[in-house]
Chains A and B, each alone.
Chain A
Amino acid sequence: MALQELNFSFKPEKNFTSFAPEWFHSGVVGSGDMEVLMEHKKQDGKVTVKVVTPVTGFDQVWEKVLAKFVAETKIGNLHMEINDNNATPFIVHMRLKQALFEAKGDVES
């Protein structure tokens, strides 16, 4: 079975912050893990996500986890690409927050 590609688009929170770095990468595609590439993209604050995963049938779970991430972090103008290898929803949420945290730290230093 071929790899699955899922695409999502989210409206940002009203008081969103733009994703500042040109791009930021975090994570390793290990078993049960994932990597994410975050790119600054001017798109009226929208957050777009492309997920590449071998797992089928979890489209709605992805949408919920990603929507939660966007709502919690109030991030905008962001395009993310995720390479997933069977990461659980909890791991996905944690990795995304970690990546955003690291990306901000990188800007400060």
Chain B
Amino acid sequence: MRKWEEMQERSFYESTARERAINLVDKGTFTELLAPIDKMTSPHLPILGEAVSFDDGVVTGVGKIGKRPVFVISQEGRFIGGAVGEVHGAKMVATFRLAQQSYEKIKEKYPNDYESRIPAVVISFETGGVRLHEANAGLLAHAEVMEQIQHCRGKIPVIGLVGSKVGCFGGMGFVVVATDMVIMSDRGRIGLTGPEVIEEAMGKKEFDASDKSLIYRITGGKHKYIMRDAAYLVKDTIGDFHKQVAEALKMSYDEVQSHRCIGSLKLVEEQLELVKIAAENNFKDATDVWAYFGNKKSDQIQDQFYDEFIREAKRRPRR
């Protein structure tokens, strides 16, 4: 394993789940829970003749950023597209539960000074959603993770990171927008139905899945940043994600919460307003939406480098 300092410079997009998990927290602080040595493989895949993995495609553990314990969930897109099966989902849920137990213990131990020590949950998404080989368990896992995010509300910040190769699609596309804050790189993608599936169902005219530029315009980090589905856009290194998480942990809980996409009447109304704007303006492409929000050179946004984009991008105003 390469040194922590070296890994901070490395592409987040190209890193494995374990590399991301270890290097998103402070140097030398990561402890993996249910590591490969525990050999917790899927009970369903062997019957179907599908390859298994010792971690079932997700690395879970705990580390520290500053004084704060950070519970990390990191999905591996190379193993069955990062899809969520029974063990994978159970590991995610258990990590949330541990974070809540840790929160209660810290509050008990430091009644006057617990706010600077409360834990956080950080999820590095790289997934296509439900693992179809174990679909019922996978669906249930999605619901349970959603429930855990709700349990954390008012207590523990839950931060979603998206910048890996597979992106974040399917059911986990719902889960990521239910977190308190989403941090993306411009190589990250968030969506519900994947491009190929839309094309299969609705035809090439509706969505051309071979058009990479179109896919990034609709699901990519820059679009999500302008639309405020992503609170922050960072460069594609593990270090940049690490720094942004560390910044988020310096914020008050309320400030972190202010980046939520859903979860209150006000936010639902805000989303409904967006639907209204989209319907009234008859947008044909993401570039039309960018122009609507004041980006004059909307056709050049996709080619802009990070610094230029961040400097010039006009984002959707919040109410």
Contact = CB atoms under 8 A, between A and B. Distances in A.
Interface size, A (range): 20 to 34
Contacts of A29: 51-53, 78-79
Interface string A83-105: 11110000000000000001001
Interface stretch (B42-50, B212-220, B289-297): B42-50
A28 B78 contact: yes
Interface of B is mostly: loop
B79 A3 contact: no
A35 B36 contact: yes
Interface string B31-44: 00001110101000
Nearest to B80: A29
B36 A37 contact: yes
A33 B78 contact: yes
A73 B51 CA distance: 27
Given A25-B36, A28-B16, A30-B78, A35 B53 contact: yes
Interface of A: 1-3, 23, 25, 28-31, 33, 35, 37, 39, 52-54, 81, 83-86, 102, 105-106, 109
18 contacts: A1-B49, A2-B47, A2-B48, A2-B49, A28-B53, A28-B76, A28-B78, A29-B51, A29-B79, A30-B78, A37-B36, A37-B37, A52-B46, A52-B52, A83-B53, A83-B54, A105-B1, A109-B3
Interface of B: 1, 3, 16-17, 35-37, 39, 41, 45-54, 76, 78-79
